[in-house]
Amino acid sequence: MTSQINSFEEYKTEYARSVADPEGFWAEQAATFQWKKPWKSVLKWNFKEPDIKWFLGGKLNITENVLDRHLAARSKQTAIIWEPNDPNTKPGKITYKQLYQQVCQFANALKAQGVKKGDRVCIYMPMTPELAVAVLACARIGAIHSVVFAGFSANSVADRIKDAGCTVGDYWWHEIIAGKRKSCKAQQMDSEDPLFILYTSGSTGKPKGVVHTHGGYMVYTEYTFRNVFQYQDKEIFWCTADIGWITGHSYIIYGPLLAGATSLIFEGVPTYPDPGRFWDVIKRHKVNIFYTAPTAIRALMAAGDEWVKNRRMPSLRVLGTVGEPINEEAWYWYHEKIGKKRCPIVDTWWQTETGGIMITPIAGITPTKPCFATLPLPGVQPVLVDANGTEIIGNDVEGMLCIKYPWPSIIRTTYGDHERCRQNYFATFKNMYFTGDGVRRDHDGYYRIIGRVDDVINVSGHRIGTAEVEDAINKHEDIVESAVVGFPHDIKGQGIYAYVIVTEQITDHAAFKKQVLDIVAKEIGPIAKPDKIQIVPGLPKTRSGKIMRRIFRKIAEGDTSNLGDISTLLNPEVVEEIKMGAV
Ligand code: WT7
């Protein structure tokens, strides 16, 4: 088990140590796991190519650390609690021993299908324990899992299957596990062998496959889980994310199970059968640590306090949020109504590419401030830079957030296209990993995440690239061109606003809008459906042909008082018309 910080003083000491001697620090953490062969050197890196390797030469299998090593002490302990969508269906419980057996059995089934080390396996499943089993079974035999969120459309799945060259999918579970043995030797993996690919949206093109590896990801997710939430032995941990996102990978499956915790998997949604569902589940399963997204908090807050009033949740000890900035009102509501002012809130900032939590309070230890992700974890060295890439030092400053030193679960590559990885994260600023987020550092050195500075929108904590939505919309036969931006939305954080140019007069607006929404749902998935669609006579473009998105953002925000300098536009006359037609 990795070490656990016990006081704010200890945090400061550990942080200083992690900066002065990162290799020594991470080697100590890594040494707490089971390795088949020890590593020869801790870290080799450059951010130029990039080429980043942790625990070089080390051999292991992450599932031996998730499963085998817990069997002696925890074989009868519940590893996974499953809460089905229907509250009247009996919840499921799987012990560590049973999980071990099920993972092995499915691993053998995969082998029988011809799956080998290094093969890519696409997993497209709802939120059931079988999903966790399938993920771990891939890791057991050294296959690379690529989980696709079950809310994505068939076309999105097809894109991801093609990009990763996946070989297996669509079999019936019960048929392929029938008669398979319940033990399976774990494949020996190199620290740097890929563990999984997870697709995420960027500012351009199709989603890219972020690659994480066995060694570093294991060390980092366990360390962060244990420290951020101050996990105590036997506690019940519930992260409401979908396993199809990185939050589910790192804090439903790997982090908690590596730490020997009991992890709850919920199949349903926060509002079914009523907006008290989350609180019922917490009560029923005596959840100690609860981790959710601001969008869910805002939606439940909007549903009214009566859903919380009669539900006592004495088991709760720590609350967490992730995925998007939390607004003050939601923070206080969460703190008062859910945590009864006695549970610390950890506002955790991180990304698919970072693998694990990066900037966050440590529960009950770091003094919190509403809406601040506060301070970096040990091993994380954030810097703020200006548009020229110059580091902004001191406090009370704002800039773009970069990280200047590798941590064990940093993205290694984008699958099949290393250059894209370099371009996206390591080329903007020299010798730094660029996050794409704007951030403010206050007088105490606390970090407050402002939001994306690129063309990525964050809808209910889901990351969506504007280019992807535009590509989908442009498939409509009457649409010539489109531009998509985000706008502030009370519940979702950001909504999607689409400006479209059409070939001919649209008479039935409702039907037209429905067609556009259907196309987006089919091409990407329902989460990417625009909230607003405005037909415009033209898109404001610069002389070099670039759409001036700033203008669209302002109009979508409803703030047209000062659109800034539009003199460089090729077609300034369209701006007035767009303003008038705003929806
Ligand atoms: C983007 C990453 C890994 C978490 C799930 C989302 C935004 C994430 C916070 C936070 C403000 C946040 C950032 C980031 N974000 N956490 N606590 N406060 N913003 O992962 O889909 O890779 O999105 O989510 O903008 O860049 P993701």
Please report the atom of ligand 1 found closest to the CA of residue 325: 11
**Which residue is closest in CA terms to ligand 1's atom 3?**
351
Is pLDDT larger for residue 351 or for residue 544?
A: 351
Q: Average pLDDT in the 188-214 region?
A: 94
At residue 542 the predicted structure's pLDDT band, cuts being 50, 70 and 90, is confident
Give Rg (Cα) of the chain: 24
With 90 as the cut, is the pLDDT of residue 570 above it? no
- Residue 169 confidence (pLDDT): 66
Q: Average pLDDT in the 532-550 region?
A: 89
- Cα(444) to ligand 1 centroid in Å equals 22
Quote the tokens at residue 422.
């370099």
- Residue 235 confidence (pLDDT): 98
- Residue 568 confidence (pLDDT): 81
pLDDT tens for residues 115-169? 999 999 999 999 999 999 999 999 999 999 999 998 999 999 999 999 999 987 6
pLDDT tens for residues 471-497? 999 999 999 999 999 999 999 999 999
Please report the atom of ligand 1 found closest to the CA of residue 360: 17
- Cα(208) to ligand 1 centroid in Å equals 16
- Cα(375) to ligand 1 centroid in Å equals 15
Q: Average pLDDT in the 106-119 region?
A: 96
**Which residue is closest in CA terms to ligand 1's atom 20?**
351
Query: Could you give the percent of the chain with pLDDT greater than 70?
Result: 100
Q: Which residues line ligand 1 (CB under 6 A)?
A: 200, 246-247, 322-325, 347-352, 373, 435-437, 449, 451-452, 458, 463
Cis bond before residue 367 (omega within 30° of 0):
no
Is pLDDT larger for residue 565 or for residue 79?
A: 79
Distances (CA, A) of 56 to 197, 370, 420: 20, 40, 24
Quote the tokens at residue 518.
């259907």
Strand partners, 198: 210
- Cα(320) to ligand 1 centroid in Å equals 13
With 70 as the cut, is the pLDDT of residue 583 above it? yes
pLDDT tens for residues 25-41? 999 999 999 999 999 99
Instruction: Encode burial over 421-442: b for 16+ CB neighbours within 10 A, e otherwise.
Output: bbebbbebbeebbbbbbbbbbe
At residue 172 the predicted structure's pLDDT band, cuts being 50, 70 and 90, is confident
**Which residue is closest in CA terms to ligand 1's atom 5?**
323
At residue 412 the predicted structure's pLDDT band, cuts being 50, 70 and 90, is very high
Average pLDDT, the chain: 95
Q: Average pLDDT in the 556-578 region?
A: 87
